[in-house]
Amino acid sequence: MTLFSDASFFILLAVAIVPAAVIGLTEHSLRHYGVVLSAVLVAAAFWGQPVQALGLVAYLVLSRCALCWLARDPKSERRFVAASLVTLCPLLVYKVSAVFSLSLWGFIGISYITFKGIQTVMETHDGLITRKDLGFEDWLYFLLFFPQFSSGPIDRSRRFAADAHGIPSRDEYAGLLARGILLLLLGAVYKMVIATLIHRYYSPTVWGTGDFGTELWAQVKTAYLYGGYLFFDFAGYSFMAMGASYCLGIRCPRNFRAPFIATDIFDFWNRWHITLSTWFRDFVFMRITRWLVRRRSSRAASVWPNAVFWPTCSSWASGMALQLTTLGMVSFTACFSRQRKASRSALGSTRLTAMTSGSGFSHGS
Amino acid sequence: MAEMTHEELTAKVMDLLEDVCGDDEVRRHMDDDLFGLDLLDSIAAVELLVGIEDEFGISIAPTEVPRNEMNTPDKIIDQVEKRL
């Protein structure tokens, strides 16, 4: 069974919301129910794939051990680096071996579970999460929470745990449930009606022998159709994930905010897959910048966080596919030119790169 | 550290902010979103956090405070004051 895709999932979800509504509306904690439901649905998603299931269990055991070991001496740099490496290990093994067509240690949701795992490691090192804050059940619930399991949005552990432990009043929960159901329906329309419809007209072709205008039009049309399909498919999925979270009392963060009305590429990344952009900003970009600033590097050195940030971001997304790595470099160039205190012409080039990257994205994946 | 008055703290934070933003314009926007005004970006925000660490000896991790709770000079002063 595939989460948010198969009919069997939606039937199970519709049935599962009924007890959740009863528990929530009678002002009881939804936490234990949410944990059991997530475990059951994730187990169903792994059904018939024992190797992947084993990969997930191995990941959970390793990352939990690393986190507990770090929590005993959170300020230790040595423990922090070791715990980060252990938590990143499966994703690194998977992504690198995928280049050689081996795809070792891959399992459903590997990227998103790694993002969540690594942020708990970092915040434990920062002293924001203590040993008592992230008990085993909370930690497991956060990592296996089924609405966000396979494709995000990427929640934050402290926010998530606060929601999981909070018991909303009847009115408050009724509001969450109503919004949740609406979001589920809206997401379903986006993904299953609009995205499916657009995909029907999407047929990429190579540049043919016809006249220039016709061939160009075919390519442009393909690019925009794919852009539209990608948006409605992913935003639809994200709305459904948000909706299912709300029904369980978890205020899952929003992942898309009308990306196509963005005024430039920066604005675009603040609107497209928002939880991924902000995750990279907070846990990769700002960390590298802080490390550099503490070493008294000049502001000019700030090009480096960007140089690491964009290619990392895009190679994760693309499995190191050429087109999206190019998009990463384009975004990097745009950021770099903006940092050079955008002159009018630099702003123009930013707009241009935004457009180029749009078509880059549509050829990707 | 000797007890610091609210005015002294405000003056120090504003000096730091002016330095980080590279613009004294920031003093005229005590209650405005500095990210929205393009006076702060992610890099300047990190410089601010490191500056606060050096100046006041308090460490605020990049994800400790949600961005909307530390995006105006008044809110930044408030966050520093809370931790002194």
**Over the stretch A231-289, which tens digit does the pLDDT of each residue have?**
999 999 999 999 999 999 999 999 999 999 998 888 888 899 999 989 998 998 888 88
Encode pLDDT of B11-54 as tens digits: 999 999 999 888 888 899 999 999 988 888 888 898 899 999 99
Residues in chain B: 84
Encode pLDDT of A212-241 as tens digits: 999 999 999 999 999 999 999 999 999 999
Is the complex ipTM more than 0.90? no
The residue type found at A328 is: G
Query: Chain A: nearest CA to B74, how far in angstroms?
Result: 22
Cα–Cα separations (whole angstroms), residue A191 to A28, A179, B55? 33, 18, 51
Encode pLDDT of A324-334 as tens digits: 667 666 766 66
Looking at per-residue pLDDT, the higher value among A206 and A15 belongs to A15
* Domain residue ranges in chain B: 6-83
pTM of the model: 0.84
Contact criterion met (CB < 8 Å) for B63 and A305: no
Say what percent of chain A tops pLDDT 70. Answer: 81
- DSSP type of residue B67: G
Contact criterion met (CB < 8 Å) for A126 and B47: no
Contact criterion met (CB < 8 Å) for B63 and A282: yes
DSSP states along A256-313: -S-GGG-SSHHHHHTTSSHHHHHHHIIIIIHHHHHHHHHTT--GGGGHHHHHHHHHHH
The per-residue pLDDT for A316 is: 62
A29 close to A167: Cβ distance less than 8 angstroms: yes
Whether the per-residue pLDDT at A365 is higher than 50: the answer is no
* Nearest residue to A158 (alpha-carbon basis) of A132, A188, A197, A195: A132
Per-residue confidence at A353, pLDDT binned at 50, 70, 90? very low
Which residue of chain B has the CA closest to A301? B43
Contact criterion met (CB < 8 Å) for A283 and B43: no
Contacts of A156 in chain B (CB under 8 A): 63
The domain at B6-83 falls in which architecture? Orthogonal Bundle (1.10)
Collect all residues with Cβ–Cβ distance below 8 Å to A137 and sequence separation of at least 6: A31, A35
* Nearest residue to A249 (alpha-carbon basis) of A52, A91, A34: A34
Over residues A159-173, mean pLDDT? 95
* Domain residue ranges in chain A: 29-165, 170-255, 260-363
The per-residue pLDDT for B24 is: 86
Can you tell me the distance from the alpha carbon of A70 to that of A65, in angstroms, rounded to the nearest whole number?
9
Mean pLDDT score of chain A: 85
